[in-house]
Amino acid sequence: MSKRDHKYLVIPGPVEVRKEILEAQTQWMIGHRSTAFADLFARLQDKLKRVFLTQNRVFVHGSSGTGLWEGASRNCVRDGKKILHLVGGAFSERWAAISRDNGKDTDVIEVPWGQAHTPEMVAEALSKQSYDAVAVVHNETSTGVTNPIQAIGEVVARYPGTLYLVDSVSGFLGTELRTDDWKIDLVLTSSQKAFALPPGMALAAISDAVLERAKEVKNRGYYFDFIEIEASLKKNNTPSTPPISLMFAAEAQLDAILAEGLESRWARHAAMRATTSDWAISRGFGLFAQEGYRSNTVTTIDNRTKNIDVDAMAKFMSGIGFSMDKGYGQIKGKTFRIAHMGDMQPDVLQEVLDGLDEFLASTQ
């Protein structure tokens, strides 16, 4: 039986949250128009800039990441202009759908699931057509692919009118991401993935160019109007009531992350990727993501050769205290994913892999 008092989440979001971070949420509530809140907000800005590696402001919003997807699509693309989405998995597909649903003229560069996008593909598209924005998912959580964000950023930067928008929901704080060095205008994330906080808070580093663009966009909507969010941010505040408890937790988590060091944190996840891929290969599984682009925070295991019963696997693992993923979208069952993001440590990953070995032995 499990030595834990709860099920440890090995799913790629929400992920396991450490007890002291959960407890940081139980501080007494403060009013969001109080000085105490403005102080908290200012401290968070400082710490967030240090982990986003940016001089830009960081929006902190009460919504899941999906909200800021919508905000990015709405605020960054003018009427009569286009947005280019790089699509290669369930999440990149959904962001493109959100742009379309918000009435934006949307083109896509589609690659087969499991493949990465290349800078050459983007260079070709930008040479043929002008775009207000290029939108890409850093770490495609469904397929376990990490896109070459830096190299694509070099291409987009050749077109000064084109904003570079990056979803790093499951990459941020788990794998290398350098907002300013990589010339990213907007990078958005959610609290419940590699940040290892409870769900409910979205964040985005926003460049001046994004705000300049937003001013030229009609119908930015209300809840995700970047101009309004910026006006409040300048006063260390938010337009509507923010997720204050999550912000308490975020401060505690950022302190821990800064103490661990960003590069050590990235290295811990890279090491867990290596352990997980070695395990999968040596047990006769494949890896779904293209070699060279495999995610440091989630491994999508290709189950098509071995074809294990993923429901039985998840049931067995649940019995020993682990909540497992069974694959996502069109590759459910053909794949399953092991998330090694957030605050997971290598010894816990080893327990997960040992558990999977026990399951495999029980099916022999």
* Closest separation in Å from C-beta 283 to ligand PLP: 26
Pick the closer one to ligand PLP by CB: 96 or 320: 96
Tokens matching residue 45? 């800005």
Pick the closer one to ligand PLP by CB: 169 or 257: 169
Pick the closer one to ligand PLP by CB: 95 or 279: 95
* Rounded-to-integer distance, Cα 344 and Cα 315, Å: 21
Instruction: Using alpha carbons, select from 175, 108, 164 the residue that is nearest to residue 141.
Output: 175
* Closest separation in Å from C-beta 144 to ligand PLP: 11
* Rounded-to-integer distance, Cα 46 and Cα 20, Å: 22
Q: Which residues bind ligand PLP (CB under 6 A)?
A: 13, 64-66, 91, 137, 141, 167, 169-170, 190, 193
* Rounded-to-integer distance, Cα 325 and Cα 165, Å: 28
Pick the closer one to ligand PLP by CB: 80 or 112: 112
* Closest separation in Å from C-beta 95 to ligand PLP: 7
* Closest separation in Å from C-beta 332 to ligand PLP: 15
* Closest separation in Å from C-beta 266 to ligand PLP: 17
* Closest separation in Å from C-beta 149 to ligand PLP: 12
Pick the closer one to ligand PLP by CB: 155 or 169: 169
Pick the closer one to ligand PLP by CB: 187 or 217: 187
Pick the closer one to ligand PLP by CB: 40 or 169: 169
Pick the closer one to ligand PLP by CB: 247 or 308: 247
DSSP collapsed to 3 states, the chain: CCCCCCCEECCCCCCCCCHHHHHHCCCCCCCCCCHHHHHHHHHHHHHHHHHHCCCCEEEEECCCHHHHHHHHHHHHCCCCCEEEEEECCHHHHHHHHHHHHCCCEEEEEECCCCCCCCHHHHHHHHHHCCCCEEEEECEECCCCEECCHHHHHHHHCCCCCCEEEEECCCCCCCCCCCCCCCCCCEEEEECCCCCCCCCCCEEEEECHHHHHHHHCCCCCCCCCCHHHHHHHHCCCCCCCCCCHHHHHHHHHHHHHHHHHCHHHHHHHHHHHHHHHHHHHHHCCCEECCCCCCECCCEEEEECCCCCCCHHHHHHHHHHCCEECCCCCHHHECCEEEEECCCCCCHHHHHHHHHHHHHHHHHCC
* Closest separation in Å from C-beta 316 to ligand PLP: 26
* Closest separation in Å from C-beta 187 to ligand PLP: 12
Pick the closer one to ligand PLP by CB: 286 or 329: 329
* Closest separation in Å from C-beta 347 to ligand PLP: 25
